[in-house]
Amino acid sequence: MSSGLTHFDASGAAAMVDVSAKAETSRSATARASVVMLPATLALIVAGDAKKGDVLGVARLAGIMAAKRTADLIPLCHPLPISAVAVDLRAVGETTVEIEATVRTTGRTGVEMEALTAASVAALTVYDMVKAVDRGMRIEGLRVTAKSGGKSGDFQQD
């Protein structure tokens, strides 16, 4: 029984994809997420007055660390030699922190999962650092917005 999906073997069991025959190429991926909160919560973050410290700075570091540990978190991800991770967080409007994470490598498989992990952990860190003042925050729109390299070529979306 073949599903046509790459993470399943012929019998339908989960399996790590064999990438040994693939060429090493330069690859990158960008993912985005947003944390939506009360205006007072965002004002607290922007002013640097959160009790736990620099919310955006700590979330940036958490996202970078998460990208490097993706293979430890997602069972079928390959451990990759990551060349670069950039995690940018910015206040948008009165209620939103937008997060963009870009990961680069030279390897046999892409870094979409690393970029998604970086963006999601950065968002979770924002939540954790100010949850005491706003438990109603929402993490929204986690998605890959761009990828390059590999056999499937480039991909871009808003």
Return d(Cα 143, Cα 130) in angstroms, integer: 23
Q: How many other CB atoms are there within 10 angstroms of residue 43's CB atom?
A: 14
Active site residues: 128
Integer Cα distance of 52 and 31 in angstroms:
26
Residues with Cβ within 8 Å of residue 81, at least 6 apart in sequence: 105, 106, 107
Q: From CA 70, how far away is CA 65, in angstroms rounded?
A: 9
- The region, left, alpha or beta by phi > 0 then psi within -120 to 50, assigned to residue 22 is beta
Question: Helix (H, G, I), strand (E, B), or coil: what is residue 90?
Answer: strand
